[in-house]
Structure 1
Amino acid sequence: MKRAFLILFAVLLSLSGFAQDYNTLAYEPGKKLTWKDFQGKPKHSDAHKGAEITVSIFLKIKDTSFWSGRITYDAYAVAFKDESWVRPAYKEAYTLGHEQLHFDIAHLYAEMLEVKLNSLDAKTTKDKAEVERILKEHLADMQKFQDKYDRETNGGNNYKQQKRWENKIARALGIISTPVEV
């Protein structure tokens, strides 16, 4: 089975140069995963799986208003290279496409989290405990969605459902990448 595993791990970072220091790959729209991004090794408990990508969301402070103290955040999806792996027999485009969709889903959830956090009032954006609570809740929701994706596609083995999910996620990615005139 080709199932993704989500680490419920997120870090509040306020400096740039964030992701690569943690052997992570930051999501870049339009850039696809390659098998070189899968540098980990499967555990004995993963005997029934062909590949796995480990993803999460990182959060950093983008800006702090001088006048109000309101904080704006940048949320982005990451894949952990050392935690992501593939068995040689599964190194083909279809499996990589399934794992890419897990990364795409993490990106969608990162975008939704960023919108949610940046729509909070100034007082709440400065409340670290509240921001962490929202982040944890959001990560739990994302995990449920990732699990649903794997369940409905049978880890990518149900080709009809895999295609349906590909179309569903492509539409969502199209919506968030549509420029908005202001």
Structure 2
Amino acid sequence: MLFSFAPLWLLGLLSIPSSQQPTAQAPVVPPALEWNASRPLTWADFKARPNSDRLEALTSSTIDAKVGCVDYQFSAQVKAVFRPTESWVRHPAQATAALLRHEQVHFDLTEVHARLLRQKLSLVKLDCEKLQPAFSNITKMAFLTWQREEARYDQETNHGINAARQQAWEQQVQQRLQSLSAFALK
């Protein structure tokens, strides 16, 4: 038994079986990037076309959560994932390092909340016979909390324009990643 959860507005991660890999005519879709402390985002990762006049860049990321039971033993896999084909920068040649740091913190916040979900799933005892709706309830709350914090981040930093608030958020998120290091993927 295997379940995966992503809110409807975040669905879109597709995996293509090896027997159905793109042919020469089909465009090659860049793979989603899993969060990695040693691999920060670059502007080259942002592959989509801008779809808003209000923003200079947009990071599309999600928390990919899968759970399963083998021999009535619960297990969970939770990853923070960046989606290049849904992320964009308006003017790549003129985009600043400060704007890229702002977008990186969005992805870092995704990892913070992925770690919080890993922590929560490590503490709860889910019954394999009745995995749903317990798993859905836990993940819905985790996604809601994450989305609210993402919105607060943009509001407080004015999308990265308020340099002092941006720096404070960068430091806070790094501290939280450090404090949750026990729940980082190895």
Residue 22 of structure 1 deviates from its aligned partner by 8.3
Q: 2:39 matched to which residue of 1? A: 31
Residue 171 of structure 1 deviates from its aligned partner by 0.8
| 3-state SS in 1 of match to 2:50 | coil
Distance 1:54 1:90, change over 3 A: farther
Q: Percent identity?
A: 29
| 3-state SS in 2 of match to 1:155 | coil
Distance 1:126 1:37, change over 3 A: farther
Q: Which amino acid aligns with 1:141?
A: T
Distance 1:125 1:56, change over 3 A: farther
Q: Matched residues in 2 for 1:126 and 1:98: separation?
A: 41
Any gaps of 5 or more consecutive residues in structure 1?
A: 1-5, 12-16
Q: 1:82 matched to which residue of 2? A: 85
Is it true that 1:59 corresponds to 2:62 in the alignment?
no
Q: Matched residues in 2 for 1:166 and 1:84: separation?
A: 20
Distance 1:143 1:120, change over 3 A: same
Is it true that 1:175 corresponds to 2:179 in the alignment?
yes
Question: What is the TM-score when the length of structure 1 is the normalising length?
Answer: 0.78
Q: 1:111 matched to which residue of 2? A: 115
Residue 135 of structure 1 deviates from its aligned partner by 1.0
Contact 1:77/1:106, CA 8 A, preserved across alignment: yes
Q: 1:9 matched to which residue of 2? A: 10
Q: Higher relative contact order by CA 8 Å / sep ≥ 6: 1 or 2?
A: 1
Residue 178 of structure 1 deviates from its aligned partner by 6.0
RMSD: 2.9
Distance 1:122 1:49, change over 3 A: closer
Residue 125 of structure 1 deviates from its aligned partner by 8.4
Distance 1:147 1:57, change over 3 A: same
Which digits, 9 at most, give the CA deviation of each residue in 1:24-50, with x for residues without a partner?
21111221001111001111xx10210
Any gaps of 5 or more consecutive residues in structure 2?
A: 1-6, 13-17, 19-28
Distance 1:169 1:78, change over 3 A: same
Residue 77 of structure 1 deviates from its aligned partner by 0.6
Contact 1:25/1:80, CA 8 A, preserved across alignment: yes
Question: What is the TM-score when the length of structure 2 is the normalising length?
Answer: 0.77
Figure out how many residues of one structure are paired with residues of the other and give that number. Answer: 163
Matches within 5 A, 1:93-132: 93-123=97-127, 126-132=130-136
